[in-house]
Chain A
Amino acid sequence: MSKLYIFGIGGTGARVIKALTMLLASGVACGVDTIVPVIIDRDMSNKDLSRTKRLIDNYIEVNKIADTRERNKFFKTNIRLLNHELCLQLMDNTQKFEDFTGKSSMSRENQALMEMLFSKETLKMDMTAGFQGNPNIGSVVLNQFENSDVFKAFAQDFKEGDRIFIISSIFGGTGASGFPLLRKILHTHNVKDPAGRVLDNWGLINGAPVGAVSVLPYFTVGSARDDSLVQSDTFIDKSKAALSYYKTEDKKIDTLYYIADKHTSAYEHNKGGDAQRNNAHLVELAAALAILDFVDPEKTAENIRRDEQGKIRRTTYKEFGIRSNAPEINFENLADKTKAALVNPLSRFLLFRNYMKFVFHKQHRRQPYAHKLFTGHFRATDVIQKLEAVQDQYYEWLQEMEKQTHRFAPFNLTSRDALDFVKGAIRYQKKSWYYRNWQAVDNELNKQTEKINRSLENEKKFIELFFRATEALIQYKDKPHDR
């Protein structure tokens, strides 16, 4: 029962966690059985954040029916929230930076020091909108998060064998500065809570395996429309600055993953709030894969290299690569191992979604698999509604990735064909001349329905059935060169 605590910092953190959630929903293998995500952000009204929160709430509900003790892998990995909270909210809400630091109550000498260190604009900056790309500010503020309740809960929850992972972007505000800071806190001994007591399990936390992913620039922003201080041309410079700082992280964390995309996308310029709603990107999916790589039990030896005392001997540095590049990437462009991990789960989950969208309402009244089980008000039950909500978000997520400049479009999303929606020369299904299109799916559902444990509750039967059916219909085999 090992867990992985993921700290996702800033907008990127939220989006990578979202990508990871999608992967887990589709049943991608995970080396731990529970994920505990924490999103650290100052900007609470970030729309990315609210989308991710909704997704995770839905996931947690559906996860309750995912443990069928049979074959089902959809939603299998547990996701838990600390204190039922996803966000570690920074406690102070003071508006301007200078008020936050309490400059006005400082001594004259300190005030002068402040003015020297920070520009006037920076001092007057409204902090509710993140740090607008100023890591130097972020570091100060972020020192505060160790006092939060969520962090306390994290300390209490932590067990021997659990691991920690940190997601951040190397550019931008919140992410760049947060990562090393967080790491430092995790490795500080005897961190005390506001009351002065040493936080529980801190010793364990000190010694736990830590991984991190640092996402390098993969988008530019258009010119500012409002009084934003964010400038994408400074992203590279800031990345360079951060990267050089990260050199000091060597041997402080077990594995560091760098994810980048040379082919950048252009986003709308919104400094935060509701409008910062960046579309999903392949890079986030790659970052999520990094997380899964970190917890992969077969990779423990290469990821975590410590000596007998538990000191990190060497930090493993990893990058994500694909086999071939193109403006549009599909499964064929990915490396074999990536394909092997992704084709089946993503395709099966999409098939599940498509079936529910196009076919279920008509067939569930006619087919034996649904007879007396999934008829009537079944679809309206809370957990199924949430399942379909996740499916909707999944589809949206795929659509967003498709719309990027560097498109990730493994599926023909507009296709209504039951099984022929995977792009590229990927052979993953046996075609039947007798059962065409959706008939083949109904046939498989009817076939699998017999094999399911009769004592399961309806909802569990439902998810188990669809897993088995999609599993039987889509079976991509990992071959050295699929061409």
Chain B
Amino acid sequence: MKYRMMLLLAGMMALTGCDGRPKTENRRAGQLAGVVSKPDSKPAVHVYIENSGSMDGYAGRDKTDFKTSVYTYLSDIKIADVTDSLNLFYINGEIIPHSPDVSDFIEKLNPATFRLRGGDRGATNISRLIHTLLQETLENKTAILVSDFIFSPGKGKNAEAYLINQQIGIKMNMAEALKTRDLAVIVYQLSSEFNGTYYNREDRPTLIDGRRPFYIWIMGDAKQVGELRKKIPVSSFKGSGVEHTFTMVRGNQTVDYAIRPGTGKFSLDRQSPKNKITHAGKDHRGKLSFAVNVNFSALLLDDDYLKNPDNYELSDKDYQLHITDAPGGAHGYTHSLNFSSQQIKPSRLSVKLKTGVPQWVEQINDEEGLDIHAEGAMGKTYGISYLINGIYEAFTLKQDFYTEIKISIN
């Protein structure tokens, strides 16, 4: 009780516009690692906008997709009632709180304010950024970070080594956090007009005017993140809209699934009707077929991923799988796994939904990061794949599949 009071006090002090550096250490005082988040309480959402120098270009003009996307997203969060407290910050090397007034925030979203807000506007150490965010979001908070995620090894540094180190750092921080928390990470990739200075990997500036990708990163307790995503789906994003998504949750989760009666010639086992079928026979098409309703909502994966049969690993190659939406009326189920086989034999079928880094990550990754005017480089982000892979590896240390569905066939 005493600790919470202190926290509240500190938070209030922060919100009232004290331009002092928030003492993150203080705030962490008294916090226990691994506090179980109460699912009923609405978590605080902290939104961090990166205001390092490379971000100025997104806010250069009065109206950019960047501003539109961010503004609408923040408004949506406020409206959607997913949280009791929405806190706005600028972040670079430091965290600079802002008043929760969203419109005010957006109006002031320009390079001038960026500069005004100050902090360490130099090159961004993404690994440290992630680390800071992880610290900030212990105890029931969801962190949203808007950034361009460009690594900056700096001049004269070994870029490759730097990137690898960053990846390792990210991985370790994430893995550490994952030991105690059931985290989930969503990365939305959007794009916007960029009119300003672009700093390449050696920090050499170039003035550009084009379209550049930027990212909205959401991290927090898996349930809350899922809730947030459900309340504000991808479709509600304005501006460029979400062009790609990367989601990561812990592996080997249990999901709800049940065999759907009526989808083939079989009987449901009376003791285990959800995952055992008996008296399997060929239907009129000459195949053994059955469908399994499954609830993938906790996995925070999008349809593109979930409906791609290549992302599934079947223990028995005789079975074919294709995935559809769950039929209307199937309560609580999101998708339907439809199996068929030419052969009928008693088997225990195991279906694993594999984890994986989506292809778009490789495609949007700028391996060089030197010449912004190189072919396609405008639409790429330097080193993004190292960030994503770092996260990926942290999550998949122990398992490389999200969930496993086991069906017994007789």
Asked if A and B form a direct contact in the complex, defined as CB atoms under 8 angstroms apart, the reply is no
List residues of chain A with CB under 8 Å of any chain B CB. none
List chain B positions with a Cβ less than 8 A from chain A. Answer: none
